[in-house]
Amino acid sequence: MDKHIIFEDEQIRAIFLKGSSDELIFSFGDLITRAKGLSINAEKSLEKHDFNVIGIMPKQKSWFPESSMQQMFAEIQELIAPFKTRIGYGGSMGGYAAIKYSNLLDLKRVVALVPQYSINPEDVEDPRYNMFFHEELNANMQVRPQDVSAEREYIVVYDPYCPEDRAHYLKLEQVLPQIQTLKLPFTGHDAIAVLASSELLHDFLLHEFDESYFYKKIRQVKKNSKFYYRKVIENLLPRHRNALGSILINNDLQLDNQFFDAKLKQNLLRELLSNKQVSQQDLLKLGIQVNLPQENRSHLLDCFGHGLVFNVISQKIESYAAGAIALNHKFLIPIFAKGSGLVQINLNDERYLVAMNDRQVMKLFKEQEPLTAGMHPIVIKKYSDFYLLSYKQLNLSNNEFGSHDFIEDTPETAQFVTQPELP
């Protein structure tokens, strides 16, 4: 592999990867794929198609300062002179640079995934990146009319429902003389990861722009992208509660147990358990494995009439409507009280204590098993008209959505009543 550094300063590193193509690809790194050795952004896909590539990798979170880019251009002019067709590619910070320096590098086409217009808070308010703006390095960093040209083709991919990226797009739309837009809804700022495909990248760089063609190719890539479904689930869940069931039914997902973060996983489980009968297959698709304990007894009710349960999947105390508990009794174990004592549940004919630490991490312990350091049993306190569930000086309080927190007061939301045991 013929690859070597052709320019470097404190801000950027430029690496030339020799190929056999007539075209020269400028591949810009982003905030995550910063300079590391001789690595180039999208290198595997570009090398697969034997492109000639100059990878311009940021060494700092400085958005390719103009002074560094001008110095680089002065030093590589002789190298790039034979290439009459030059194409720029990048995402986010790299997408910004591909647009910003399209005139300087004489790019025929620019492919920018979720690019910025500027990170100067006076240009665009964006709390994700405004912190990286430095007046000395980034003076006049916004994309200006003199940076771009109608002779060049600009392809921008973004999520119109992501307000931060949409703000940048609307600014770019005003300054770019022509812009071809491909929308990737409900993926947020992660278009780069969602669209990772050597074939799609090849088409982005060389195929004549045809909106219907590109959307067809994007659909094919999304269908095989687990990352896409994670982003869609994350963004759709608050607005379209039935979307998760449809995704599980229509797609053969087999995710690992680290695919979703803890917060998203808990939200997924809540939607599943509240709206459909959960199968073991559903959980496996989501990368969730669990033993299937079962307990069919009466339990405490919260002030909204929902049953108090221990969710063996999320390992949390929560509340659910009776219908959801009936559908998912293997996972939602009722909590019931027999006077003051410790919170206990019965799994696989064994009694377990529900304990918690100061970080509010819950764990089950067999009745005769010693507690681990930092864990304390949750206590049930019986009063004349209600029960409290307490951890040290805190009491369990619920809300109308079935989630619980430990607080110092004893409002109605912290008071539980018993339901007569079913025969």
Report how far residue 275's alpha carbon sits from residue 297's, in angstroms, rounded to the nearest whole number.
22
Q: Is the pLDDT of residue 420 over 60?
A: no
The DSSP H or E segment spanning 386 is none
Q: Residues 3-229: name the CATH superfamily.
A: Alpha/Beta hydrolase fold, catalytic domain (3.40.50.1820)
* Residue 84 CB burial class (10 angstroms; 0-12, 13-18, ≥19): exposed
Question: What is the mean pLDDT of the segment spanning 279-304?
Answer: 66
Give, in order, the Cα–Cα distances in Å from 301 to each of 64, 321, 325, 412: 59, 10, 12, 12
Q: What pLDDT is stored for residue 336 in this prediction?
A: 87
Comparing 92 with 240, which gets the higher pLDDT?
A: 92
Q: Is the pLDDT of residue 188 over 90?
A: no
414 and 299 Cβ atoms separated by less than 8 Å: no
Q: Is the pLDDT of residue 55 over 50?
A: yes
Residue ranges of domains in the chain: 3-229, 237-285, 300-418
The tokens 């689930």 sit on which residue? 233
What is the percent of the chain where pLDDT is above 70? 86
The tens digit of pLDDT for each residue in 35-54 reads: 999 999 999 999 999 999 99
Q: What pLDDT is stored for residue 190 in this prediction?
A: 87
Alpha carbon 423 to chain centroid distance?
Answer: 47
Task: Give the residue from 187, 85, 199, 97 showing the smallest Cα distance to 142.
Answer: 97
Structure confidence at residue 292 as a pLDDT band (50, 70, 90): very low
Structure confidence at residue 322 as a pLDDT band (50, 70, 90): confident
Structure confidence at residue 239 as a pLDDT band (50, 70, 90): low
The tens digit of pLDDT for each residue in 19-29 reads: 999 999 999 99
Q: Is the pLDDT of residue 296 over 70?
A: no
The DSSP H or E segment spanning 179 is none
Q: What pLDDT is stored for residue 231 in this prediction?
A: 72
Class of domain 300-418: mainly beta
Q: Is the pLDDT of residue 288 over 90?
A: no
Structure confidence at residue 254 as a pLDDT band (50, 70, 90): low
Q: What pLDDT is stored for residue 274 in this prediction?
A: 73
Report how far residue 309's alpha carbon sits from residue 300's, in angstroms, rounded to the nearest whole number.
8
Return left, alpha or beta for 250; rule: phi > 0 is left, psi -120 to 50 is alpha, else beta.
alpha
Q: Is the pLDDT of residue 32 over 80?
A: yes
Q: Is the pLDDT of residue 65 over 80?
A: yes
Report how far residue 149's alpha carbon sits from residue 165's, in angstroms, rounded to the nearest whole number.
22
Q: What pLDDT is stored for residue 391 in this prediction?
A: 96
Structure confidence at residue 338 as a pLDDT band (50, 70, 90): confident
Residue 31, helix vs strand vs coil: coil
The tens digit of pLDDT for each residue in 373-392 reads: 999 999 999 998 899 999 99
Q: Is the pLDDT of residue 251 over 60?
A: yes
